[in-house]
Structure 1
C-alpha cells in the first residue's frame, strides 16, 4: 500500500520510488519485526495516526525485539500514556543500569572520568509537542522501526554506540484532537485546496494540550503533567542530544539550527553551544537534505532566548537541543506557491533529520560527552567566581505560594535549604545556570525582536521577594515540599472561624465551604483577634464564618472547616468573641457577606485560547471550581442571568449592536465583567465603560504629521517594526492594597507580566485605579525607550469601571500567564470572588 501510494506522488518536483522514499537505504530489515504499515494497516502518510496506535506499535516493538524496552513517564490530563521507547543493542539494554551510572558520572563535577569514547551516547528523539504539527510522530514510527529492525551496518553501529530514547508524542491530547479533524475531513482523492475544511481546524485547534497550554513553553514552568513527567525523566537521564520537531506555515521550506546569527541568545549559555555544536550538526543536516533535494534555511526567524523551549532547556543541562521546523501540509495534501506539499513529504524530512541526528551524535560522541562534563564543571567555576553566593527567599504569610515556588526549584533539580523562616538557594551547585534563570534579571539585550518572551526570572512569577546573599547559612536541605506548609490544626469554636485570606489557597477554601452551603463574609478592614492564647493580626479580605448563622450544627460546621483546612492547608482560627482587640469587630458593617460565584467565560472563534485555557486551568486544578465555557456562536441564545461573573480574555470580538446591548444590560444588573488584555481595550473602544487608552501615540502622530519620513532600507522593516511590540517583559506596578481586588497583598509593589500593547489610562475616578505602573517599572525583559516613556509609565495595569449597578474589571495584562503567575493570580481571583462587593465611590 505504501509503495503504491508513494510511486504516484510528486514531492516539490521530486519523483521517488517508494522503497527509496523512506526505508530502502537501511535494508535489510528483520522480517520478524512488523513494519508500521503492517501493524497499522495503512502506509505512513496515508492517514494521521492516533496516539493510542503509536503507543501500541511501540509496545509491540518492545515485546518482539531484544533491542527495545518501553517506559511510561506519566499520563496527560485526558489520561493518555506518555511513553519513551529505549533502543540500543541487546547487550547495552541488559547493562543499561551500569551504562547509566557511567553516563551520569560526566554530569557530576566532583567525579574525574575521561573515558569519553567508551560509554554510549544518550539521545532523546522527541516529537510532536504541538499537536497539529503531526509529521514528526509519523517520523517517530519510522525511526523506531529503523533502529529496532534494520540489519544495516550503519544502523548497527549507531545502536552499539548510542542509547536512543524515542518520545513519539509529547502532546497526545492535542495530537488526537488534530488527527481526528484531519482524518474526518480527508477526501478520496485528497483535497489540496487550502480553503478546504481539512486544512482549517476549528478553535482551539490541536496545537495545545487539554487546557490549551503551549507545551513548548512549559519546560521551564512545569505546570502540566506532560512537562512535569518529562522533566522528572530528564533529570534522571540527562541526554546529550535532544530533538524538538515542529511544523510551520505551508509556504515555507525546512528549518534547522543554527538559529539567528545575531539573535537574542541566552546570555548564560556557553558560546560553544551556539557556535560549535549547532554548526557541527547543521552541516550534517544540510548534507542529508541536499542528498534528497529538500530546500531549507538556517539562522533566521527563530531564537533561543527563552529557556523553556524543548530546544533550549537541554542546552541548560549540558546537552544540545535541536530545533526543526517543517513546512506543514496541514492535512494530507495542500497547494502552495511552490506546488503541492504532501503529508509523506513532510514526514520524510523529519525522518531524515532523525537518523542524521543519531549519526552526528555517534560520530561526535567523545566531543559531546566532554562538552557536557565541562558544562557542569564550568557551572561551579562560574559560581565560585561570582560575588553572589546564593539567594534567600520566602513569604511566611503565604506558605502555599512559597511551597509552589520551592516545588518549581526542586523540579529542576536545584538545591534548596531552609534556614529559619527563610529558604536559601546556593549558587555553587551544578544547576547554577538554572539558578540564574530563576533569579537573575537583565536590562541589556543583543536583539530587539523576540520569537517569544524576553523575560523569565521565575521568582518574579511568584511575587517571591528574594535577596542575593554574599555569605551563606544553609541550614537543612529541602528534598520535598510535603512539609513546607506548617499549619496549626483549627481549634473548635461555637462562635466563629477566621480564614487567612493572605494564603494562596484561601479562595479554594472559600469555594469549598460555600459548596457546603456555609455563609462567610470578607473583612474590608484589618483587625486583630484572640484565638486561644494567641493574638492574630488579620489582613484585608480575611474570611469570617459565624457559627450561629449556619444551618448546620456547630459540630458539622467544625467538621467542614477541618476538611477545608486539611484539603487546602490554609490557616484557620477559632475565636470565642466578636470583639476584636484592634480594628473592626466581627459584626461590623465592614464585614460583608459573600455570594457564591457563578462564573462563565466566552470562548471560541475570536478569543485567545491560551488565555482562556489559563483561566480554566487555574479554576479547575487549584480552586476546584467549575466555570461555564460559552462558545461565541451560542452568545445570542445564552441565558447570562444564570451567572454573576463573566470573563472575556484577549480576542477579536465582533459584537453587533444587539449583542453589545445584551452585555451592557447584564453588567448593569449588578454583575461583574472581567476583561483581560485586548478585551479591556475592546471594552473601552466600544464605550462599554467610560475609560480611556493612553493616547501618546495619537498625539505624537499629530505633532509629526508635517515631517517627512526618514527613508530606511526595506529589508530592515521586519526588524524595525517588530521591536515595537512587547514580546514579554516583567515590570513593577504600584498596588492599592486597601482595594478589594488587592486583598491578600501586603506589599504595595508587585511584579506583573506584560506581553501586549494594551495601554490603559488611569481612571479619572480617584478610587478606581487598582494598579499603576511604577515610576521605575523595569524588572526584566526588552522594551523600547519609546514604549517605556510614552506608553507604559503613564498607564495603569488594573482599573475598575462602573457600569450601571455592576462593574467592569479591566486587566491590561494577563494575571494568569502560562499558569505560572502565582503572584498575580490573586488579583484575578479577587475579581471573581469579591467583584460584586466593589463599590466605586463618586462625588455627588
Structure 2
C-alpha cells in the first residue's frame, strides 16, 4: 500500500512539474540573465517541454534571438522539400562577430599550412539537433541552449563565447520535426497519460523520423543527395568545425548515450587520437550528467564506422563527431524501465550535454586545434607520397552518371580534372567529357580514400550501419586507381551537365540510345505527349554508329504531330534530359532494319506505389523520390489501409517495396496481376508472394550452427550473420530487357538482405547472376558468402496474364546508388518485353 501511495505521489509531482515548467528546470538558478533577451515562452507561447515545438515556432524564436542579441547572427541556407528554411545561427562574442570572417580564414588557413604556431584562437563547434524528426528532444533543447548562450551573463558563458564560434543548427530535419510535433501535440491529453499503449506513442505510418521523401537523413552526410544535407555540408566545409554534435533519441527503456562507441567498430581510417579526444570530451558529459543525477552509458551499442553519419563524418575531415542518444518519451510522458520518463527530462539531458560540449571545447581548445592542424598536415604528407598518381572514372556512354558523382566530389571539396584526351586503360575507354581525373595529391585525400575504397577485411563483424559504400561501384562507373595524374587537363571549377541535342531534323525516324541516366525521363515525356515509340531488342548499326539493346525508335510518320512539331518536341526533350537523339533518314541498317519485328512498341506506364502499414517506408520513399524528382514520372501512392476500395485497373504497374500485405489486400493484388498487371516487388515482398502462392520462388537456405558460442556471445553471433550492407558482383545477359542500357557485362549490386534465390535451370531466365566469388566490398559471414555464390538477385514469375518482377534487394539505395536505378526503370518501361 505504501509503495502504491509513493508511486501515486511521484506521478502527481511529475505531472505538476510537467504542467508548471519554467526555465529554472533546465538552467542553473544562479546564472545572471539579460532581461532584454526574450525567453522561449515569450515567443512560442508556452514553456519549453509543455508542447512539442513546431518548426515554424522554432524559426520564429531563433529570429527573435538574433534580433535581440549581438552574440547571434542568423542565415537561411536554403529550403527543405516542403519549403521550410534551413537555418544556421552563428553564436559567439560580439567582439568575435566583428572579426568573424578573419577568424574563419585563419581557422581554414591552419588546415592548409604545415607550420602553425598560433593556437590562441577560437575553436569551432557545430551543434546540430534532431536529424530524426521524432527524436524531438534535441530541437526543443535547442530553444534552451540558444537562449542560455544569448542571455547568460556569467563568466563561464562569456569565456565560452570568447573562445568558441558556435555553428548552431536548431533543426536538421524541419519537415520531420513538424510532422512529429503535429502528432504528439494533437494526441496529448490534459491528463497526461504515460501508458505506452496510448495512441500518442504510436505514430501513423511513416512516422516523423524521416524527411519529406521518407529518407533517413543521418545517412546522407557523405553522398549529399538531399537539400538539407547540401546546406549543412556547405557550412561544414566552409568552417571545418573541430567538434560536431548530433543529438538523437533511442528506445524509451534506455538512459543516455554519448561517444566514444564500441572501439572495435571504428573505421580504420579514423586516427586513434580522434577516439582519445572523444573520450576526453566524454568526461565533461559525465561530470555534467552526474550533477543532475542522470544515468548514461558509453562504448556500447553504437559505432564510428560509416562516414555518412553525422557523428562519424567529421572523423574523416579533421574534426571530432559526437553522437548523443537520449531515451525517448516519444510524446510528453511515458512509462519506462527507469521510471516515468517526461519530455522535459529528455530536453534537460540534451541541453546539459550541449553545454558540456562547449565547456569541453574550451577546456580542450588547444588540443583540438592542434589535432585538426596535424590531421591535415599528416594527410598532405600521405598525399605527397601519391604525387603524380590519380583516379580516373567515367562511363563513355553515360555522361549524367559521371556528372552526378563529380557533383558529390565538388560538394565534398575534392578537386578533379577534365580528361585531356580519350584514353583506353585495362580495356575500358574513358572519353573526354564523360570522364574525370582525381589527383591523389590534395588536401582531402583521406576523404577520397574512403569514398573509393573496397574493403573486405574487418576487425569486427557487427555494424550499426552499412559496411561498404564505394562510390564508383554505386554509380556503375568504370574506374582505375593509380593512373598518371597528367591524364587530367585542368581543374573543373564550373561543373555542368552535358548538353542535350537532336542531331538534325528528320522526316523518317529518330533514334535514342538507352545508356544515359536520364533516358527514362526522356521516354516518359515522349510517351506523355502521345508519341509512338519502340524499343530495339537487338543490336544494329547505322551511319557508322552501333545502336545497342534498348535503343528507342521514334518514327516520324503516323504520329499525332507533323514532322516540324515532332522535331521541336524532341529538341525540348533532349535538352531537358541532357541526351542526344540521332536523326535517321533511312530504315535500312546493318542488322535489324527499323521496320523489324524486333522493335517492340513501348506503352506509357501507369504506376502505383504501395505505401502505408506493412511497407518499409525507407524503400518506398526512395522509389517515390527517384520517380518524382529525377525522372518526372507521376506515381500514385496507394495506401494499404484503403487498397481493397481502390480501382486498380487504371494501373499497369504496381511497385511493392519490401513488406507484406494482409489477406484481403493480397487477394486484391493477386486478381489484378492475373488480369495482366505487372507487380515489381522487392526484398521481403518475395517471401510474401511465396507464402501466399502468388509465385514459387526457390530460396537457398542458410545453414549456420553456433559452435563454441557462449550465451553471452549469442547476440553477436546472430548479428554477424546479417548482411548489413555490402557490395557484390553479378554477371549480366545484356540482351535481356531488364539490362537494357547497361554498358558492361558485369555490375556491382548493393545487398542488405539474407534472401538468396536459386538460379533457374534455363540460363536465359537468369539475366542477372552473382559470380562464383562475388564479394567486392563489405562484410559478409563465410556461410552467407557460400550461400550467395551463383544465386540470382532477380527473377520473373508469371501469374496467368500478368507477372511478378522480383528483386531480392533495393536497387535505389539511399538515392546515391545510381548504377542500378536503370533496373527499376527497365522493369517499368519494358514490362511487356520481360
User: What TM-score do the two structures reach when normalised by structure 1?
Assistant: 0.94
Name the SS of the counterpart of 1:377 in structure 2: helix
Pairing of 1:620-639 with structure 2 (within 5 A) = 620-639=628-647
Name the SS of the counterpart of 2:832 in structure 1: helix
Residues in 2 aligned to 1:476 and 1:283: alpha-carbon distance in whole angstroms: 50
Paired residue for 1:439, among 422, 441, 452? 452
Residues in 1 aligned to 2:819 and 2:504: alpha-carbon distance in whole angstroms: 30
Which one is further off, 620-629 or 481-490?
Answer: 481-490
Residues in 2 aligned to 1:204 and 1:714: alpha-carbon distance in whole angstroms: 36
Paired residue for 1:224, among 223, 226, 236? 226
Residues in 1 aligned to 2:220 and 2:102: alpha-carbon distance in whole angstroms: 31
Residues in 2 aligned to 1:710 and 1:526: alpha-carbon distance in whole angstroms: 54
Per-residue CA deviation, residues 131-166 of structure 1 (Å, 9 max, x unaligned), is 000001011111111111111111011001111111
Residues in 2 aligned to 1:267 and 1:383: alpha-carbon distance in whole angstroms: 17
Residues in 2 aligned to 1:681 and 1:106: alpha-carbon distance in whole angstroms: 56
Give the Å deviation of 1:22: 1.0
Residues in 1 aligned to 2:33 and 2:387: alpha-carbon distance in whole angstroms: 58
Q: Which residue of 2 aligns with 1:750?
A: 747
Contact 2:536 2:600 in 1 (8 A): yes
Q: Which residue of 1 aligns with 2:151?
A: 149
Paired residue for 2:211, among 209, 212, 218? 209
Per-residue CA deviation, residues 230-250 of structure 1 (Å, 9 max, x unaligned), is 111211111111100000000
Q: Which residue of 1 aligns with 2:622?
A: 614
Contact 2:403 2:497 in 1 (8 A): yes
Q: Which residue of 1 aligns with 2:829?
A: 833
Paired residue for 1:595, among 591, 594, 603? 603
Q: Does 1:551 align with 2:560?
A: yes
Which one is further off, 353-362 or 800-809?
Answer: 800-809
Residues in 2 aligned to 1:226 and 1:138: alpha-carbon distance in whole angstroms: 19
Give the Å deviation of 1:317: 1.2
Q: Which residue of 2 aligns with 1:177?
A: 179
Paired residue for 1:583, among 575, 587, 591? 591
Paired residue for 2:809, among 813, 820, 841? 813
Contact 2:400 2:517 in 1 (8 A): yes
Assess, with a 3 A threshold, how the Cα gap between structure 1 residues 482 and 425 changes in structure 2: closer, same or farther.
closer
Q: How many residues align?
A: 812
Pairing of 1:487-498 with structure 2 (within 5 A) = 487-498=500-511
Contact 2:216 2:618 in 1 (8 A): yes
**Which structure 2 segments of 5+ residues have no match?**
1-9, 422-431
Name the SS of the counterpart of 2:247 in structure 1: strand
Name the SS of the counterpart of 1:714 in structure 2: coil
Q: Which residue of 2 aligns with 1:841?
A: none
Q: Does 1:798 align with 2:794?
A: yes
Residues in 2 aligned to 1:571 and 1:480: alpha-carbon distance in whole angstroms: 25
Q: Which residue of 2 aligns with 1:312?
A: 312
Give the Å deviation of 1:9: 4.5
Name the SS of the counterpart of 1:782 in structure 2: coil
Name the SS of the counterpart of 2:759 in structure 1: coil
Residues in 1 aligned to 2:30 and 2:569: alpha-carbon distance in whole angstroms: 66
Q: Which residue of 2 aligns with 1:115?
A: 118
Contact 1:694 1:794 in 2 (8 A): no
Give the Å deviation of 1:713: 2.2
Residues in 2 aligned to 1:481 and 1:105: alpha-carbon distance in whole angstroms: 24
Q: Which residue of 1 aligns with 2:33?
A: 29
Give the Å deviation of 1:101: 0.8
Q: Which residue of 1 aligns with 2:690?
A: 684
Per-residue CA deviation, residues 389-417 of structure 1 (Å, 9 max, x unaligned), is 22111112001111111111111111101
Residues in 2 aligned to 1:745 and 1:624: alpha-carbon distance in whole angstroms: 21
Residues in 2 aligned to 1:77 and 1:568: alpha-carbon distance in whole angstroms: 22
Paired residue for 1:46, among 38, 50, 56? 50
Q: Does 1:523 align with 2:536?
A: yes
RMSD, matched Cα: 2.0
Residues in 1 aligned to 2:63 and 2:22: alpha-carbon distance in whole angstroms: 26
User: What TM-score do the two structures reach when normalised by structure 2?
Assistant: 0.95
Assess, with a 3 A threshold, how the Cα gap between structure 1 residues 8 and 95 changes in structure 2: closer, same or farther.
farther
Residues in 2 aligned to 1:620 and 1:32: alpha-carbon distance in whole angstroms: 47
Q: Which residue of 1 aligns with 2:363?
A: 363
**Which structure 1 segments of 5+ residues have no match?**
1-5, 702-708, 839-844
Residues in 1 aligned to 2:324 and 2:718: alpha-carbon distance in whole angstroms: 26
Name the SS of the counterpart of 1:715 in structure 2: coil
Contact 2:661 2:688 in 1 (8 A): no
Q: Which residue of 1 aligns with 2:723?
A: 726
Contact 2:709 2:717 in 1 (8 A): no
Residues in 2 aligned to 1:95 and 1:20: alpha-carbon distance in whole angstroms: 34
Name the SS of the counterpart of 2:462 in structure 1: coil
Residues in 1 aligned to 2:414 and 2:95: alpha-carbon distance in whole angstroms: 34
Q: Does 1:672 align with 2:673?
A: no
Q: Does 1:760 align with 2:751?
A: no
Residues in 1 aligned to 2:492 and 2:77: alpha-carbon distance in whole angstroms: 21
Paired residue for 2:66, among 45, 62, 71? 62
Q: Does 1:84 align with 2:88?
A: yes
Give the Å deviation of 1:480: 4.7
Name the SS of the counterpart of 1:549 in structure 2: coil
Residues in 1 aligned to 2:163 and 2:172: alpha-carbon distance in whole angstroms: 25
Residues in 1 aligned to 2:665 and 2:331: alpha-carbon distance in whole angstroms: 35
Q: Which residue of 1 aligns with 2:613?
A: 605
Paired residue for 2:662, among 633, 655, 659? 655
Contact 1:728 1:753 in 2 (8 A): yes
Assess, with a 3 A threshold, how the Cα gap between structure 1 residues 9 and 307 changes in structure 2: closer, same or farther.
farther
Contact 1:14 1:293 in 2 (8 A): no
